[in-house]
Structure 1
Amino acid sequence: MAVAARAGFAARGLIYVLVAVIALRIALGGGGGERQADRGGALGELAGRPFGVALLWIVGIALAGMAVWRLSEAVFGAAGPDGSKLSRRAMALIRCLFYGFFSYSVLAYAAGDRGSGSGSSDRQTDDVTARVLEWPGGQWLVGLAGAGVVVAGLWISVRAVRRKFLEDLRTEALPARARPITVALGVIGGTARGVVFAAAGVFAVVAAVRHQPGQAKGLDDTLRGFRDLPAGPWLLALVALGLAAFGLFCWCEARWRRVRPGGRTVG
């Protein structure tokens, strides 16, 4: 189980690094080519590399391992003193479902279904938002969901700044030279990730208030939104570097994350 979890963190880190690379191209004026700065764009970027299909299979299987490990956390509890709390177990189950779907989309893409996993996050967000806005009370649902994403983003950033992620790492195993680098990557990467989440939530709230599904933005349009602000290209470049830092931090997690399979903590 520990191997599955660590492989999953490595795969997640790779996806974030690829998204960051595309976003940095957009910031520098390259437009990112035809790639979207989101999961679909990352998969397309990976598929275009030598042995890309094989890499996609590896990433998909690794993400499946992450889903299984999250399921074990939901059943047995996570590492740490509060790992058996109902809230932690529920969150682990939600993450299990997310990574299970993510893994399926990557594996389907690797198997030749280019419509799976590679769709634009912006179009998908527009479609879902438009559908929900048609429901009775849809504006409230979209607004509340957007507000929830804003709160989640702020929580992610605050947790990163407070270095709460260290509670999930085997800090006693961190080499002295690796510790400051790992902490810096965790703080910078987590903060940037939270800012992106919060920005996406703000767009969803705006879509609800104006009853315009097109105002809701997926990851790609959210990142491009930073570019449209004053000093936008530089701001987007900073956000892209922050996401790259989070990807690198995921690789640190792959090495030093505390894992608790079957009710016991292992190093």
Structure 2
Amino acid sequence: MSDNRDAPDWVIPLMRLGYSARGVTYLIIGALAFLAAWTGGQAEGTSDALSTLKQHPLGLVALWVIAIGMFAYAIWRFICAWYDLEQRGTDAKAIIARIGQTVTGLIHLGIGVSVGRMAMGSGGSGGNGESGAQSVTSWLMTLPYGTYIVMAVGVITIGAGVYYGYKGIAEKYKNHLMRTEWSEKLDPLVKAGLVAHGIIIVMIGVFLIYAGINTDPGQAGGIGKAFQTVRSQPYGMFLLGALGLGTIAFAVYCFVEAVYRVVPQLAGPDMQTLASEAKGKARRAAASV
């Protein structure tokens, strides 16, 4: 990883395209989950949701746009880590964060490849779209100490989910969002979306731990399995509907990032963020006491 370099000018539109593609994907997933709760149908994961999209007019075009957007998001995360665009520094905490950005890029690169294959007619969904998660888990279990690796990945995934929730509750996302009328109005949805997404990620991590403990890749799963698990609980339809709305809120968060995200290394000194506005209000309130 490298510091003190000038990032390429095209990184900003690349970032905005990537966040927009994420937003479209989660909007579809969340809307289908909410409709499933409303109609009593089956909630779908990422693969099944995108397969459903393919069946609609212009669905193939939409899949290619999403695939390209996922590639763009992956490249953005790689560049963000390499150039330290968020100015995290080089201490241990910063290095871990930048490694996390790289891993996120690799995950979305994989999603982009999967969506591209789906658009070309190869690949697809199966079993609530969980074949991908279960296939990766099965492969990990063939490695030396594979079950422990799966459980470790589960713990890391739970940590990522907890961080999403913390990021929303503690409003850490405000550090990188431009202050505008609309970013302020949409702030409650952004917070709710991050918390809801954190819950889903934690559930995926728990699935992985159970898969490792029982040496059973079939117990692993992704978003679709999280939805189905919630649905099987008492008042499951209401919980599924709430999680579907939360996923739609996370899509709103992605769209807000696409439009209003500030890249600290490339932003001017006078750029006002939601965080700086909140700090200014706190200072004014303290001064008036």
Moved more, 213-222 or 83-92: 83-92
| Structure 2 residue 262 is the aligned partner of structure 1 residue 258 | yes
Tell me how far 1:159 sits from its aligned partner.
1.4
Alignment partner, residue 122 of structure 1? 130
Aligned length: 255
Which residue of 21, 24, 41 maps to 1:14?
Answer: 24
Q: CA deviation at 1:66?
A: 1.8
* Aligned-residue identity in percent: 27
Aligned partner (choices 66, 82, 87) of residue 88 of structure 2 = 82
Q: Which moved more, 1:51-60 or 1:12-21?
A: 51-60
Please tell me the residue identity of whatever aligns with 1:18: I
1:64 maps to what in 2? 71
Q: 2:144, 2:97 → 1: CA distance?
A: 32
Does the CA contact (< 8 Å) of 2:133 and 2:222 recur in 1? yes
CA, structure 1 residues 58+115, in 2 after alignment: closer, same or farther (shift >3 Å)?
Answer: same
Counterpart amino acid of 2:101? A
Structure 1's 72 and 203: CA in aligned 2 closer, same or farther, altered over 3 A? closer
Per-residue CA deviations over 1:56-77 (Å, capped at 9, x if unaligned) read 2222222222222222212211
Deviation track 1:180-218 (CA, whole Å, cap 9, x = no partner) reads 432111210000000011111112222222333322222
Q: Counterpart in 2 of 1:217? A: 221
C-alpha separation in 1, matches of 2:89 and 2:239 = 37
Aligned residues of 2:15 and 2:72 also touching (Cα < 8 A): yes
- Runs of 4+ with >4 A deviation: none
Q: d(CA) in 1 for partners of 2:133 and 2:107?
A: 16
CA contact (8 A) 1:37 1:220 kept: yes
Q: What secondary structure is seen at the aligned counterpart in 1 of 2:186?
A: helix
Superimposed CA distance per residue, residues 149-189 of structure 1 (whole angstroms, 9 cap, x where no aligned partner)? 12221121111111111111122xx11xx244321112100
**Counterparts of 1:206 and 1:107 in 2: how far apart (Å)?**
31
Q: Distance in 2 between matches of 1:251 and 1:154?
A: 22
Contact 1:68–1:96 (8 Å) recurs in 2 = yes
2:227 and 2:29 mapped to 1: Cα distance? 10
**Could you tell me which residue of structure 2 aligns to residue 199 of structure 1?**
203
User: What's the CA shift for 1:136?
Assistant: 4.2
Structure 1 length normalisation: TM-score? 0.85
The separation in 1 between residues aligned to 2:37 and 2:200, in whole angstroms, is: 15
Unaligned runs of 5+ in 1: none
Q: 2-side partners of 1:133 and 1:101: how far apart?
A: 19
Give the Cα–Cα distance (whole angstroms) in 2 for the partners of residues 212 and 72 of structure 1: 36
In structure 2, the CA distance between the partners of 1:78 and 1:17, relative to structure 1 (3 Å rule), is same
Task: Describe the shift of the 1:101–1:158 C-alpha distance in structure 2 as closer, same or farther (beyond 3 A).
Answer: same
CA displacement at 1:38 relative to structure 2: 2.0
For structure 2, the 5+ residue unaligned runs are 1-10, 272-289
Compared CA separation, residues 136 and 54, structure 1 to 2 (3 A):
closer
Query: After alignment, is 128-137 or 180-189 more displaced?
Result: 128-137
CA distance in 1, matches of 2:217, 2:54: 31
In 1, the alpha carbon distance for the partners of 2:139 and 2:65 equals: 34
Counterpart check, 1:227 vs 2:246:
no
Q: Which amino acid aligns with 1:222?
A: A
The residue aligned with 1:38 is 45
Contact 1:71 1:93 in 2 (8 A): yes
